[in-house]
Structure 1
Amino acid sequence: MFIHAVTGCDTISRIFGIGKKTAFQKFVKGDPVLQSFANAFTVPNQTPEVIDDLGSQVMAILFGGKCTDSLVTMRYNIFSKRVVSASSPVTPERLPPTESTTKLHCRRAYYQIMVWMGKEEGMDAMNWGWNLQDDRFIPLMTNMNAAPESLLKIHNMSLIVDQLESYDRSNLEVIRIEFAKLQKKLEDCQSLKESPEIGN
């Protein structure tokens, strides 16, 4: 149940790039941390905050990290590695989900597991990642951006360097301006790494 719900089903969003087979293989290989999380997701009366914490740890494991890894740090590290070699923009869906997205996804997964087990009595779906609209439950969407806009514009550092080298060297003012823009983009990258608020 846990793998089916967390990786997405008819009623729950799916995680881009993580299929049921990948998650199931990690589970079957006996990853004790993943198995303990699976057990925790079948315990009735968990609080949303407990599921939020467990969900972030599960997501880190599914994306190849450890349960102690921060999703923000993982997103930054994966983005940094990909942007260096990318020939096109690195899109947010290719990164681990944000903390906010993970929280809502895992709350819905937990609620769905409780429904399947017949243990949802007393649970308010509105506290578990759902919104009621026209007498139907729809997934509550995150209100956070996937990444700062300025960061999403950085898609290939080698292309930026090539562009700088293509300027007429006699026009030093243009080179200075372009270099300042590049420096600002790099500072934005650094502030992303240092700020736990970005990507939550």
Structure 2
Amino acid sequence: MRIWNIQKTKQDMGEQLCSLLPFIHAISGCDTTFRMFGIGMGAAYKKFKSSVYIQDLAQRIMTYSSKENVVQAGEEIVACLNGYVENEGLDLLRYRKFASKVVTGNMYVQVQTLPPI
């Protein structure tokens, strides 16, 4: 059994990342939501921890922005979690992933492995 010192963990993570834990939990899959294919809790946490940009996007969503802002920030977070390249939209990312799988695979492409629509 492993025992965690919550106060030390909170201090190590920092206030910003701690406040985003519910968002990270929801986007990476939890008891009531499905996770995106290939992106688990650990991978999502590492991306959020290493990217202030993703943290800012998540904070924008959590501050009850307008619907348009939430949609835009959500799409950017999904793109970043799936290997986003600068100035590449979600559609181009999805196409790039599809083309990569077609070129390297010897079987059909499974749709669930592509970034969500």
- The aligned amino acid for 2:33 is I
- How far did 1:55 drift? 0.6
Please list every run of 5 or more consecutive structure 1 residues that lacks an aligned counterpart in the other structure. 99-200
Alignment-derived partner of residue 5 in structure 1: 26
- How far did 1:69 drift? 2.3
- How far did 1:10 drift? 1.9
Identity %: 34
1:92/1:79 Cα in 2 relative to 1: closer, same or farther (>3 Å)? Answer: same
Of 2, 9, 22, the residue aligned with 2:43 is 22
1:86/1:66 Cα in 2 relative to 1: closer, same or farther (>3 Å)? Answer: closer
Please list every run of 5 or more consecutive structure 2 residues that lacks an aligned counterpart in the other structure. 1-21
Alignment-derived partner of residue 73 in structure 2: 54
The number of residue pairs the alignment matches comes to 96
CA distance in 1, matches of 2:96, 2:86: 16
Q: Please state if 1:79 is matched with 2:112.
A: no
1:36/1:59 Cα in 2 relative to 1: closer, same or farther (>3 Å)? Answer: same
**Displacement over 6 Å in runs of 4+:** none
Q: Which of these two proteins has the greater Rg computed from alpha carbons?
A: 1
CA distance in 1, matches of 2:63, 2:72: 15
Name the TM-score, length of structure 2 as normaliser: 0.74
Name the TM-score, length of structure 1 as normaliser: 0.45
- How far did 1:85 drift? 2.2
